[in-house]
Amino acid sequence: MSKMIRKASTFEIVNHWILAVSCIFLVVSGFAFLFHLEQLNTVFGSFITLKNLHNWVGVVFVVSLLATVSHYLPVALNLSSEDLVWLSKGGGYIVKNVKLPEQDIINSGQKLYYLAILGAGVLISISGFIIWIAPGSRTLVLISHLLHNLSFIVFVMAIPIHAYLASIANPGTFRIMVQGTVPLEWARKRHGKWVKRLGY
Ligand code: HEM
């Protein structure tokens, strides 16, 4: 049996699920507000209850998002021409068997995904907080609504792609967010740069 190596710590696994569940709840309740899905209000008691839940789950989401920064941001910001090569070849998803540059603990696509989620996450949290505490300025609240909705679109587009790529499309990936470990050979193929750094 292939040697297993650790890709995510217990903290990262637990935090990912807090992030994922809170984010999905926020997206679903966000849809309910946007499209007036009265049935969802009924499930949660009333519109006010759902609104309060949305605000407080938003706090959980932002804390959980900030807890990912030390682990993912340095590697996501470590961009080079190799990332452009990886992206220009579509990460091997469009044309199979292309030669791709070796990847770090996350690949170039995951780096962009992380930066998009972090950027949109910060924007959606700040604008959401402004709407929540609703200061006197009507213009500020209107701009916040616009930014809140624009960053919402990023989540609605990025998360289904992420969930698909992290599960069905790449067998063996989902276990990272369950067990935290991957087979050494699996990691060597997908994250060669990281595996070499670990000394294997
Ligand atoms: C709902 C189904 C989801 C599944 C199956 C899933 C699965 C995964 C897996 C397996 C990883 C580790 C990838 C790796 O280390 O190579 C990961 C990472 C990550 N997930 Fe999710 N996730 C889901 C939802 C979400 C949601 C809703 C968010 C919301 C923000 C999210 C944010 C992240 C982030 C920021 C990372 C780190 C960057 C990356 O590795 O791509 N995930 N996810």
- Tell how far the Cα of 173 is from the centroid of ligand 1, in angstroms: 10
Residues with CB under 6 A from ligand 1: 7, 16, 19-20, 23-24, 68, 72, 106, 110, 113-114, 117, 159, 162-163, 166-167, 173-174, 176-177
Closest approach atom of ligand 1 to CA 118: 35
Minimal-distance CA residue to ligand 1 atom 6: 163
Nearest atom within ligand 1 for CA of residue 113: 41
Does residue 198 sit in helix, strand or coil? Answer: coil
**Which of 13, 16, 75, 124 is the pocket-test mutation for ligand 1 (most atoms within 8 Å of CB)?**
16
pLDDT at 1: 66
Going along the chain from its start, the domains and CATH numbers come out as 4-197 (1.20.950.20)
Cβ neighbours around 111 below 10 Å, total: 22
Pocket test for ligand 1, best of 15, 177, 193 (most atoms within 8 A of CB): 177
| Residue 24 in tokens | 């999905």
Under a CB-based contact definition with an 8 Å cutoff, are residues 31 and 41 in contact?
no
Token readout for 49 is 């209850």
Closest Cα to atom 36 of ligand 1: 114
CA of residue 169 to ligand 1 center, whole Å: 13
Measured distance CA(27)–CA(44) in Å, rounded:
15
Residue 47 CA to residue 173 CA, distance in Å, equals 38
pLDDT at 146: 98
Q: Report pLDDT for 79.
A: 97
Average pLDDT per consecutive 10 residues, the chain (200 residues; last block may be shorter):
93 98 97 90 88 97 98 98 97 92 98 98 97 87 97 98 97 97 97 96
